């Protein structure tokens, strides 16, 4: 699919994960349309990894 972009965001601290995800979404241009966000967690020993896969597409700006 042309024009589709993916971004993986991950952190072991939930607050840092949320901050990274928020900063990425805020950094997208107005022409970007978020298609989907998939969330996942995994645990190794005593540490949890929080991850998101953001799928977005750049579209033409809406004009009237």
**Can you give the C-alpha Rg of the chain in angstroms?**
14
Q: Flag whether 17 is in a domain.
A: yes
- Boundaries of domain holding 18: 4-58
Digit-coded pLDDT (tens) for 6-50:
999 999 999 999 999 999 999 999 889 999 999 999 999 999 999
- Distance (Å, whole) CA 11 – CA 34: 21
Q: Flag whether 19 is in a domain.
A: yes
Q: Flag whether 63 is in a domain.
A: no
Q: Flag whether 47 is in a domain.
A: yes
Model-level pTM?
0.84
């Amino acid at each position: 699919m042309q024009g589709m972009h993916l971004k993986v965001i991950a952190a072991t601290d939930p607050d840092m994960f949320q901050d990274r995800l928020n900063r990425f979404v805020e950094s997208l241009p107005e022409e970007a349309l978020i298609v989907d966000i998939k969330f996942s967690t995994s645990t190794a020993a005593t540490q949890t990894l929080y991850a998101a896969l953001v799928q977005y597409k750049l579209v033409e700006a809406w004009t009237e």
